[in-house]
Amino acid sequence: MNTLSGSRRGKLIVAIAGTMFLAASAQVASATTEPPDTEPMGTEAMGTETMGTEAGTDAPAYEIPTGIEGEIVISGSSTVEPISGAAATAFAEANPGTAISVEGPGTGDGFARFCAGEIDISDASRAIKDEEIQACADAGIEFIELKIAIDGLSVITAAENTAVECLSFVDLYALLGPDAVGVSNWTDASASADEIAATVTDMGAVNTPYPDLELTVTAPGEESGTFDSFVGIVIASVGEGLGVEDALPRLDYTASPNDNVIIESIAANPGSLGWVGFAFVEENLDVVKPLQVDGGAGCVDPTPETIATGEYPVARDLFIYVSANKLAENAALEAFVDYYVNGALTSLIGTEEGQVPYVALGA
């Protein structure tokens, strides 16, 4: 039985990365292990169920193997959770004998469980870190890294905030960076932004003076890959230009591992500011407002197209990590991973002619 939080089963939109995993990168700790076969699997004991394609796509239908039994445990990124959850739901419907659980406490938490041998697949909104690779190696856990998609991180404020439309990396550092501790009104960060812009000249123009609004910041915490990605792309990049090593966000912001809590907090405060994965914003455009971001090439809206092409400057790869140890001993896992990378996403693409393909998964 697939267990997926109802709050996560709304529409997810992420841009497809590359050519749909047929050339997915594979990274294995401690040993070299080939990724699962890219041809649909089947044995004499397995039937197949055809997974159709959405209108507007030319992806071939994938035949889901049937008659499979077994247990699969998936944990990790809350951003990747809806993708894995939708794949698990379709696979379990074709194979009632499978029990697939999907949880999303955070990328770091997922890797901790993965390297302890507790789960089969770790969802991740960032690449595995060196210390996590070492933890897996120490425990004898070998893995396969599969890049599955590109996700844009949306910088958001309340829908009623009409005073702000675009923020540059410099603006974001002035408002959210380590020197912003204690800044409780947008306008109080204006002077700092102007000073930063005098040194960092290639990461967007400042949009000062900022409005006279109470500034409340709510965003993911350190357990989240969304935190790591935003810090690496924005905060650390500007910090490096300023000569600040390992720059982190201001220490006085409200952190939450729950994207829906972040959305609720942002929506409740007219002068709010934060960031979440693109999918959660698309579900809540009635209460939150995604801001344009200028990374040095002008203000860009986050859209499936701009994220896929790299024009939107705050984007990151999404991954799943598959335990090679468990793959060797769990036929259900092998069949599910094959379906995931070769059938689930291609069959669940929702796109219109002329658009950059993107995943649109729903309940």
The predicted-structure confidence for 62-109, as pLDDT tens digits, reads as follows 789 999 999 999 999 988 888 899 899 999 999 999 999 999 888 999
Out of 3.10.28.10, 3.90.1150.10, 3.40.190.10, 3.60.40.10, the CATH code matching 6-148+318-361 is: 3.40.190.10
Tell me the angle at which helices 130-138 and 107-115 cross, rounded to the nearest 10 degrees: 20
Amino acid at 79: T
Question: Residue 143, CB half-sphere, CA atoms under 13 Å: how many?
Answer: 29
State the span(s) of the chain assigned CATH 3.40.190.10. 6-148+318-361, 152-315
**Beta-ladder partners of 61:** none
Beta-carbon count within 10 A of 85 CB: 26
Residue showing tokens 């739901």 = 89
Helices (H) and strands (E) in the chain, counts: 13, 16
Mean pLDDT, the chain, integer? 81
- Prior bond of 209 cis (ω within 30°): yes
Give the E-state strand segments of the chain in sequence order.
Answer: 12-16, 48-51, 62-65, 70-76, 98-102, 121-124, 143-158, 166-168, 216-219, 254-255, 272-277, 288-290, 292-294, 299-300, 315-323, 358-361
pLDDT tens, 249-291?
999 999 998 999 999 999 999 999 999 988 888 889 999 999 9
Taking the CA atoms of residue 49, residue 53, residue 58 and residue 60 in that order, the dihedral angle to the nearest 10 degrees is -10
pLDDT score of 334: 94
Q: How far is CA 136 from CA 112, 132, 229, in A?
A: 9, 6, 22
Amino acid at 109: D
* Angstrom distance (rounded) from CA 250 to CA 183: 10
pLDDT tens, 143-163?
999 988 888 899 999 999 999
For residue 106 the two structure tokens come to 């955070």
Beta-carbon count within 10 A of 146 CB: 22
> Strand pairing of 272-277 and 98-102?
unpaired
pLDDT score of 183: 98
Higher pLDDT, 117 or 104: 117
Residues above pLDDT 70, as percent of the chain = 79
* Angstrom distance (rounded) from CA 104 to CA 107: 8
pLDDT score of 150: 81
Residues above pLDDT 90, as percent of the chain = 62
Residues 78, 257 contacting (CB under 8 angstroms): yes
Give the pLDDT mean for 334-350: 78
Tell me the angle at which helices 190-199 and 169-176 cross, rounded to the nearest 10 degrees: 130
Say yes or no to pLDDT of 20 above 80.
Answer: no
Say yes or no to pLDDT of 54 above 50.
Answer: no
Query: Could you give the 3-state DSSP secondary structure of residue 158?
Result: strand
Say yes or no to pLDDT of 3 above 70.
Answer: no
Residues 113, 73 contacting (CB under 8 angstroms): no
Residues 48, 42 contacting (CB under 8 angstroms): yes
Out of 3.40.50.970, 3.90.380.10, 3.40.190.10, 3.20.20.150, the CATH code matching 152-315 is: 3.40.190.10
For residue 172 the two structure tokens come to 């974001």
> Strand pairing of 62-65 and 48-51?
antiparallel
